[in-house]
Amino acid sequence: MRCIYTHTFFLKKNLRFFPFFPQANYSHWVAFPSVTKVAARYYDQPGEAMDRIPTLSYGLGVPCCVLATYVVERFGLRAGLHVGGSLTGIGERKMHI
């Protein structure tokens, strides 16, 4: 029983930081336009191609949110975290290839 209470205490203690995670993500999107021209030159892409990155991100956000909700409700939080972490890892790997 003590192990459960320890995890609950840790969760409640650190849950106050959760609202700052989306703000950190949004700050990256705010900073994105300042490096668009440099990134377009580096990757030899037109500016329109670079503008598609935030558009696709926001466009896929809603369907992926619905899918994530379904996975968590159907299979549980642990499975949802594994799926989300795996997809994030795949996305990071594809970006660096």
Query: CA dist 48 to 41, 45, 62, 86, 94, Å?
Result: 12, 8, 23, 29, 21
Domain of residue 61: give its range. 18-96
- Residue 1 domain-assigned? no
Question: In the chain, what are the helix, strand and coil shares in percent, each to the nearest 5?
Answer: 90, 0, 10
Residue-wise pLDDT for 11-48, tens only, equals 666 667 667 767 766 776 777 777 888 888 998 988 88
pLDDT of residue 73: 93
Q: Which amino acid is at 91?
A: G
Most confident of 1-5, 17-21, 26-30, 65-69: 65-69
- Residue 12 domain-assigned? no
- Residue 51 domain-assigned? yes
- Residue 78 domain-assigned? yes
pTM here is: 0.51
- Residue 11 domain-assigned? no
- Residue 24 domain-assigned? yes
- Residue 13 domain-assigned? no
Q: How many domains does the chain have?
A: 1
Secondary structure letter of residue 45 according to DSSP = -
CB contact set of 68 (below 8 Å; sequence gap of 6+): 80, 83, 84
- Residue 66 domain-assigned? yes
